[in-house]
Amino acid sequence: MTSIRPEVLHDVVALDGSASLRAAALLMDEKKIGSVGVLEGGVLVGIVTEGDLVTAALVRSVPPESPIRSAMRPVPMVDAGISVEGCQAVMRDHRTRHLLVEEGGTVVGIITIRHILRLMLEEQRWAARQLEDYITGAPAARGA
């Protein structure tokens, strides 16, 4: 089982929880990203996604100058050593595409469904190469 550790995003683009929804939207647009981390006292405590902004603005009529903490939803936290399968299960069970990652009780980053899919694809490619090598009798180190 592969750990998510190599794919954890440590340099999370984040804003203080008091920053406005508009500031978060502008930052996401500028950086071409789909979410920003939310900091409280310098600690990453959650995220706000594009979907959260749309829901806040269009469904709940939250003013664009409201703090992003008003649109932030709880994001599950996983240990950096969790397996890809474990991470996938947490995402599925919590219906989220983002997870906070902690190590030693401290939030160290974030992982998204994109990272999980990349790891799953790498695992499948490795397995396919192993099967191909077995079938053709090629040395196992080929393409490693």
Residue 141 lies inside a defined structural domain of this protein: no
Task: Kindly state the tokens that stand for 29.
Answer: 């647009």
The pLDDT score that the predictor gives to residue 80 is: 87
CATH of the domain at 58: 3.10.580.10
Residue 144 lies inside a defined structural domain of this protein: no
The pLDDT score that the predictor gives to residue 141 is: 55
Range of the domain at 126: 5-136
The pLDDT score that the predictor gives to residue 109 is: 86
Instruction: Look at the chain and report how many structural domains it folds into.
Output: 1
pTM tops 0.75:
no
Assign 140 a pLDDT band (cuts: 50, 70, 90).
Answer: low
Average pLDDT, the chain: 86
Dihedral of CA 103/107/113/119: which sign? negative
Residue 143 lies inside a defined structural domain of this protein: no
The pLDDT score that the predictor gives to residue 1 is: 64
- Name the nearest CA neighbour of 21 among 61, 81, 79: 61
Helix (H, G, I), strand (E, B) or coil at 105: coil
- pLDDT 10s digits, 107-120: 888 888 888 888 78
What's the whole-number mean pLDDT along residues 77-83?
A: 88
